[in-house]
Structure 1
Amino acid sequence: MGSTSGSTSRRRRWAALLGAGALAVAGAGGLAGPAAAATDVAFATHCIPPAVAGIPPIDGTTTARITVDNATPEVGDTVTVTYTVVTPAASNPTAISLPADIMTPSGKVVLGGAQTGDVTVAGPKKNDPVAGNAPFPGFSMTGTFTVTAPGAITLSPGDYNIHTSYILELDTPCTVTNPPAPVSETVTASDAPAPNTRAIQLGSASGSPGAGVTVTGSDFTPGATVTLAGRSGATQTADTATVTADAAGDFSGSLTVNDKTTTGIVAYEGAAWSSDLGAGPATYVVIDDTPIPDNAQKLTTTVRAGTLSMTQAGDSVSMGAVDYGVGGTSSGDLNTVTVKDFRGGPAGWSLTGKVTDFTGPGAKIDAGALAWTPACATETGSPSTCVPGSPGTVGSSGATLASTPNGTLTGGEFTVDASLALNVPAYTPPGTYSGVLTLTLS
């Protein structure tokens, strides 16, 4: 009994030391984003180990970096921030190797300048194994904030906490010794542009070739010269006219429509069409009632609208094996999905996916452990262009695999792929685990 009690006591004390050491190094933050202005900063950190550790507070130096996904946002935009430990200030305090995935960090990023406050950040329960007496690995914590004011907004590392789950569940809170910590990143926010409220109405929705259609507009710039123009799909036709907006920003004018392929009419300020300074297109159809000459025949055909559909190259994916006690990434590739959009209308499409938990012999791997990196290609000649979804977690709530935007005329054929990565915990019981990934096209 004495030997068992002593062994348990040593394990608890070691676990507490682990929690304290890990948090002492966790004062750095970095975001997986393109902000080149981000700077590594060092600051003093004061960490309070769990009482079970029986050791005094730990004072050390943390090196951290904060980056953002958008360094020039507008008021109202959401900015993603990641607070990453770049160089931990402490090492594994024991000669015992530590397993992977036992540390879960959380903390705050401090805003200053044009906008003040704290951004809550958190990281996944994920870390590489740590050899005895080796440095602790770095980790990242991510969060978001909404820009509420224009100007320069500074971001500094704030207080943080590391929760460790190994033998005992422990928390070690760490604070910045001399707040605020140095500024690691600055974003420059601008006022959001005023919404475009320009609008037009047509006197009629159709007419014969060469007929004039009345165009009225509102909320244009007072006194501005406004161009009225026909559109054939996304292309401007040769049919144009100009009017001048009155002191209230209203106008009324007439446009003669000759082009038989006309599908709509727009009005805009400036030398060329701009969605920021224009309105429309308002739907307009030219009815070709030109008399048929003697000894001639008028030939007419119809292009029928089709459907939106998808097919996949297979219904099962065999992912790579991982070793018990080591865990890691089980990789695979999604069976290629072919999307055919033959509707011929203005709507784009979105292909999303969600996955169930991976169930196995008396255990499961959470759906949130599956991530993907989407890719898609557009067949030559397609009116729309396929956009892949963002790399990241799929999970049970789902994520976007690929999409195309709305437009004047959309459609085409597309191939969609994704590389898959399942993060398998080190001590997942041996066996085969399966989850179902469901794709939805809309």
Structure 2
Amino acid sequence: MGPTLRRPRRRRWASLLGVTAVAVTAGGALACPAGAAGKNVDFATHCIPPAIAGLPPIDGTTTANVSVDNTSPKVGDTVKVTYTVVAPAAGNPTELDLPADIMTPTGKVTLGGTQTGDVTVAGPKKNAPVKGKAPFPSFSMTGSFKVTKAGAITLSPGDYNIHTSYIMELDTPCTVTSPPAPVSETVTATDGSTPGNQRALTLGSASGNQGDSVTVNGNGFTAGATVTLAGRSGDKQTGDTATVTADAQGAFSGSLVVTDKTTSGIVAYEGASWDPDNGAGPAAYVVNGTTPPTPGGSQKLTTIVKAGALSMSQAGDAVALKAVHFGKGGPSTGALNRVTVKDFRGGPAGWSLTGKVTDFTGSGAHLTDPGAKIDAGKLSWTPACATKAGSPSTCKAGSAGTVGTSGATLASTPDGTLTGGEFTVDAGLSLDVPAFTPPGTYSGVLTLTLS
């Protein structure tokens, strides 16, 4: 298809979806907000734009700053953390102007030194309008953590996600290429006069869609205690709750399904109801897709497409190759049992199906040499691969040739903006049997690996 046909299609996509796509920009760093502590640090960032935007994964540099409300806390104190992305590694790739207040950022701050872990942070859905091809503006996210150990605790900016709510709900996750990022702030904690509440929790993610589960990890709780995990909306508890049991060290790991769209944080506590003295949190959390319907009688419709897994199945687990004669030898041929690959992950990664084979060892009443074998390097294959209609990816068969113990590629699909689909993989097999191989039955194991 020539350029004159592609260009209008791009305009149509841009008019509908380009407003929520992002791309790496070469724009300079913005000034850090007034009054922020810590120092600006730069780190390499890998961003994956929404698949529907038609952009490949992109790499850039993020400038960020981490500040705290107390640089000299005591053990048991709660420290408020502000993660400011001064210059995101992303911008508006289209000519269209983006409206205000469509962007909700979430992220993590990495703790190091005497206390380790991640602090989830979230920002409000508030941004200035963004001109076409312009860098995204600076944004800030807040969260908190409880000090559990005395000493120097370092804070580094971590992964962040830009969620946009305009026509569609889309995400652009940006990860630190070589974690951890440089240290932006350090707090020095001292032992308090009283032990205080040592309970603390961390979340596996700072955001999710309605109905998603979030991993909640805790420590410092009473050994063997029943701990309630709950969503919070401001100063009220939502209906989303779950219970876990702390282990002998007072730690736990559980999950909470969040269905209340007003949830802004998650807590964990012992006892019948939330009590800051017997609990931890709230840890910042944002439920995506909560944009109210636009005015004028329109209705916003929302659905969720959940990612699946990469899997394979095969039609059988045994192949009988054609017999050859002693003194003649030659190719002992057959066909690999058909393999079906299903890639329902919905991400940018392709897959590779490889195989390797062991030596063929002999057995049978007529085999006079119990150590007789046929070398694995004698097995070769001729791969073939077919793609089911409608699949985003196209399967490519591996090269014909030797399999051997080192292995060879049977089939693969490339990385792309959006990958996936269903595929069938076959191969003709041929074992080159030496002419005077002792009579008997020879068996080898062909192992296939999907990655």
Q: With the length of structure 1 as denominator, give the TM-score of the two structures.
A: 0.40
TM-score between the two structures when normalised by the length of structure 2:
0.39
